[in-house]
Structure 1
């Protein structure tokens, strides 16, 4: 009678890599040296996984292909409300992510954000999350985001978040503040 996982697998009719057509090998994950009988189904994100805070935390921790695919496919319009809940004004969101008229049009047609708009929304959320982490709370983070900074050529960090290059400058300044480097 087998008692370990390896013994059970050895006694079972487990499908090995050699038993599978080679075209399906890339779609299967190896577990304990055996291949699954059925290729795993692609993961569909839950509504909880599609929240902006969950996406920004996941993207900040380790940018991965799953987040990239979600952004490419277009995030739901509810992300705009989540940005407002984070502290952005509607005017800021419409200036930096999606114009008001386009937002209304998409909402009426039950469409999602484009990949570019989704990327912008995620960029904003990631910057706010990082600022909150560095400053310890949302109020201090927003004060810093809205005030002109000499380290950013007297621009408010929020102004620079319109572009990826600007967001990198803001993130660099947040790293410097977090590490106690003041120039």
Structure 2
């Protein structure tokens, strides 16, 4: 990788924040601030921002547990996701950012999320994001892929 590419390359944290709407929507400059924002409930705008990065609304709804009806309720009332929904959305954005970094592009990362993996007991990565254990498993798997270990 060229030096210029490394200088302009975003960190996984920065890319995660970008997927959730960037500084205008999700103002967290470090993991502690991200934790606080998630515990408070991410703004609905973070969910909407994620939709611009993932071609399938159903995937974002599946991971967060926020269907169209619940979305409409939130839109008219609280305008914030629950801490659980926020945590799941954060996990989705973080896994997508890590996969983008490891696999080289968001398109490759999105394809990887949908494909069953032998290394994950033939589960699709997107199906594992909803739990902390599943997210940890995906992070470890992506780190192994980064170093060329495919099992």
Which interval holds the TM-score relative to the shorter structure?
Answer: 0.7 to 0.9
Higher relative contact order, chain-length normalized (CA < 8 Å, sep 6+): 2
Between stretches 111-120 and 149-158, larger displacement belongs to 111-120
Q: Is the 8 A contact 1:50 1:75 kept in 2?
A: no
Listed one character per residue, the Cα deviations across residues 59-107 of structure 1 (whole Å, up to 9, x for unaligned) are: 6xxx32x211111111110111111112152112222211221111110
TM-score, normalised to structure 2's length?
A: 0.77
| Alpha-carbon RMSD | 2.0
Q: Is the 8 A contact 1:149 1:156 kept in 2?
A: yes
- Match of residue 102 from structure 2: 134
**When the two structures are superposed, what TM-score results if normalisation uses the length of structure 1?**
0.65
Aligned-partner Cα distance in 2 for 1:69–1:50? 17
- Kept in 2: contact 1:73–1:115 (CA 8 A): yes
Change beyond 3 A, Cα 1:50–1:167: farther
Correspondent of 1:167 among 129, 132, 135: 135
Q: Distance in 2 between matches of 1:148 and 1:163?
A: 17
Could you say if the C-alpha distance between residues 77 and 90 of structure 1 is closer, same or farther in structure 2, counting changes exceeding 3 Å?
Answer: same
Which stretch shows the higher mean deviation, 147-156 or 107-116?
A: 107-116
8 Å CA contact retained: 2:25, 2:43: no
* Contact residue 102 and residue 146 of structure 2 kept, 8 A: yes
Tell me the residue number matched to 1:96.
Answer: 63
Aligned mates of 1:83, 1:135 — CA distance in 2: 19
Give the counterpart of 2:92 among 124, 128, 136: 124
List runs of 5+ in structure 1 lacking aligned partners: 1-46
Q: Which runs of 4+ in 1 moved over 3 A?
A: none
1:93-125 C-alpha deviation (Å, 9 max, x unpaired): 222211221111110125211111111111100
Aligned pair in 2 of structure 1 residues 160, 108: CA closer, same or farther (>3 Å)?
Answer: same
**C-alpha separation in 2, matches of 1:142 and 1:48:** 20
Which residue, 33, 48, 70 being the options, matches 1:81?
A: 48
